[in-house]
Amino acid sequence: MGSYRVCMCFRRKFRVVEAEPPEDVKEAFKKYAEGGTHMTAEQLRRFLLESQSDGSVTLSDAERIVEQVLQKRHHIAKFTRHNLTLDDFHHFLFSTDLNAPIGSQVHQDMNAPLSHYFIYTGHNSYLTGNQLSSDCSDVPVIKALKRGVRVIELDIWPDSTKADVHVLHGRTLTTPVELIKCLRSIKEHAFSASPYPVIITLEDHLTPDLQAKVAQMVTQTFQDILFYPKSECLQEFPSPEELKYRIIISTKPPKEYLEAKGSEDKENNIQKGKDSDDDVWGEEPSNITADHENNDKSDSEGSEVDEDGEENNDCRPIGAPAYKHLISIHAGKPKGGFKDALKVEPNKVRRLSLSEQALEKATASHGTDVVRFTQKNFLRIYPKGTRFNSSNYKPLIGWTHGAQMVAFNMQGYGRYLWLMHGMFRANGGCGYVKKPDFLMNVGPNNQVFNPRVKLPVKKTLKVKVYMGDGWHLDFKQTHFDLYSPPDFYARVGIAGVPGDEVMKKTKTKEDKWTPVWNEEFQFPLTVPELALLRVEVHEYDLSEKDDFAGQTCLPISELKPGIRAVPLFNRKGEMFCSARLLMRFEFV
């Protein structure tokens, strides 16, 4: 009998009580149903038009919503009624697929040059886990492409026989994968999530004959979808629209290999003697292996700046022309400091790569030069070499200065990766987000945006967090607490320019699977164009660390006003089936 009582008590404690619609939902229903008990499709249309600011909604859209809600809630095949009760209306508002917080269509102008967009960029895209010992594989490449990532990075090295090309993280214990396997997977999955171009950045450690082999592999694999520039150096890059369903190659032209090899000793001596130059480029001696790892890094990814201008064609090997012909976005190595590296050349577009530390140094002393450089040229930022665990850095510094390719370890977790996911939910998730006009504008005295200048508040976002639901369907009953329902609280805030960043928190609701908070927050924004709304839910735990219960990150420029259902995601950024929040967004 005792055990039966425990069981009953246990069941009672875990019973999920459906929370009733928030007051604002009841008010809206009352207003638009004109005091009646049911809301017609026409009344729903008026609500969507006026309260949700959905200017394009038609009567047939509203009728379709009514139909879907009734089908989902009541499984009515033959419709006896064509209107919604208060509970139906609440169900509609709380449905992430019918009432999402942002749109799912590409809506930005896609006809500007490629350098006018932030591009969804991966780093070491072939690694399955950490940077030192995880396997190399085409699986993470496929995953990234399916998520909408548009820049895939492959490190290419000779295999042990020097006869074939492997993809691996050099001088670490990562097991290699064949280049051809990665190329074929890219071809198969490149456009599964987006029709816009995929850029392959090659980190090249090959001999000239292997470069010729790569040229052959790339041309045979991609054939007519490979984009070739009409001239050796483009003055301006074509648009994402013109480059739909195309593959673009970006790396250093092959002469770099010969010059680097020919003067390797000289270079090593210079590197050892000239600390100041290393310092400028943010190079850190790696503690993974001996010093040659560091020299190698600076010879490859460390600090690429293109200085193709001084092309020495006489030393180009046989086989290199075919390889060189593939390269559309030229990268290179720096001579001198930031000032030279950030020179804008009138007749060519190039790519510069900086480590996260080098970017911080560059922006501290040459912030507006960086912005000016990125108006035409590509800037790629990559994680510092010491992030062995595939963690990431703060992406906003790069974006605020116009960097198109903020390269991330997509196989990691963490808040910075959530921001990256959030940024690229914009523009229908197509992997290209148009840079705000202020990053592209040049003033009458040739001045550009200065990220260091404190700006006035442009607009204020009001966010109301009504309630949450769905955890009891996504988690085991005892996941958060062995003996009672969870105690949820929400954190809501802004990621953006330093002046806009803030996090706020609701009260904790005890013992509720469907917590009702009804709390409102205000966020004054100076640069709303680059701001992201951060939302996290945690379960309060007295004795240990609070449990994670979901997160999302949404671009504020895309938020739809009104009462919205906000889906939540797990730590890896995968959407939960049911856990979601009901929120209201308002701009004042």
Query: Domain locations in the chain?
Result: 16-93, 114-252+325-440, 459-587
SS (H, E, C) 453-513: CCCCCCEEEEEEEEEEECHHHHCCCCCCCCCCCCCEEEEEEEECCHHHCEEEECCCECCCC
Domain 114-252+325-440 in the same topology as domain 16-93: no
**So which residues are the catalytic ones?**
123, 169
Secondary structure string (H, E, C) spanning 444-467: CCCCCCCCCCCCCCCEEEEEEEEE
Alpha carbons 566 and 554: distance in angstroms, whole number: 9
At 363, list the tokens: 């922006």
Tokens of 138: 């085409």
| Closest to 298 in 3D by CA, of 326, 330, 332, 266 | 332
Is the Cβ–Cβ distance between 562 and 98 less than 8 Å? Answer: no
pTM, two decimals, is 0.88
Protein fold of 114-252+325-440: TIM Barrel (3.20.20)
Residue by residue, DSSP assigns 164-192 as SEEE--TTSSPPPEEHHHHHHHHHHHTTS
| Angle at which helices 41-50 and 59-74 cross, to 10° | 110
Instruction: Give yes or no for a contact between 421 and 102, defined as CB atoms under 8 angstroms apart.
Output: no
**Per-residue model confidence (pLDDT) at position 588:** 93
> What is residue 74's predicted lDDT score, i.e. its pLDDT?
83
CA dist list (Å): 520 to 20, 96, 505, 538, 585: 19, 21, 10, 18, 10
- Residue 229, pLDDT score: 79
16-35 pLDDT tens trace: 777 899 999 999 999 999 99
Instruction: List the structure tokens of 480.
Output: 């958060």
Both tokens of 221, joined, read: 């694999």
Contact 354, 366 (CB under 8 A): no
CB 366 within 8 A of CB 444: no
Query: Which residue ranges in the chain fall short of pLDDT 50?
Result: 1-12, 257-258, 260-318
Q: What are phi and psi of 122, to 5 degrees?
A: -100, 160
Q: Cα–Cα distance between 285 and 431 in angstroms, integer?
A: 33
Among 531, 526, 522, residue whose Cα is nearest residue 457: 526
* Rounded CA Rg of the chain: 27
pLDDT at residue 271, as a whole number: 32
State the Cα–Cα distance between residues 252 and 182, nearest whole angstrom.
Answer: 20
Question: Minimal CA–CA distance to 321: which of 225, 212, 214?
Answer: 212
DSSP string, 94-117: T-TTTS-SS--S--S---S-GGGE
556-583 exposure pattern, b = at least 16 Cβ within 10 A, e = fewer: bbbbbbbbbbbbbbeeebeebeebbbbb
Q: Specify the pLDDT at position 77.
A: 62
> According to the model, what pLDDT value does residue 168 have?
94
Sheet strands (E) in 24-77: 39-40
CA-closest candidate to residue 402, choices 459, 445, 448, 455: 448
234: tokens are 């483009």
Return the DSSP state at 572: T
Per the CB < 8 A criterion, the answer to whether 573 and 567 are in contact is no
Provide the Cα torsion 201, 203, 205, 209; round to 10°.
0
Query: Residue 136, Cβ neighbours under 10 Å: how many?
Result: 26
Instruction: Select 459-587's CATH number: 2.30.130.10, 3.90.1750.10, 2.60.40.150, 2.40.50.320.
Output: 2.60.40.150
Cα 583 from Cα 268, distance rounded (Å): 58
> CATH assignment of 16-93?
1.10.238.10
H/E element holding 432?
strand 432-434
Nearest to 338 by CA among 288, 276, 294, 284: 276
Could you tell me if 558 and 524 are in contact, meaning their C-beta atoms sit under 8 angstroms apart?
A: no
- Can you read off the two tokens belonging to residue 181? 């396997």
Distance of CA 1 to the CA centre of its chain: 56
Write the CB contacts of 395 (distance below 8 Å, at least 6 apart in sequence). 406, 408, 416, 419, 420, 423
How many angstroms separate the first and last alpha carbons of the chain?
61
**Residue-level pLDDT at 396:** 97
**What local confidence, expressed as pLDDT, does residue 347 receive?**
86
The confidence score (pLDDT) of residue 392 equals 95
**Amino acid at the residue 484:** S
Beta carbons within 10 angstroms of residue 252's beta carbon: 25
Ramachandran region, residue 524 (left: φ > 0; alpha: ψ -120 to 50; beta: rest): beta
Phi and psi of 324, rounded to 5°? -65, -35
- Yes or no: say if 256 and 370 are a contact pair by the CB < 8 Å rule: no
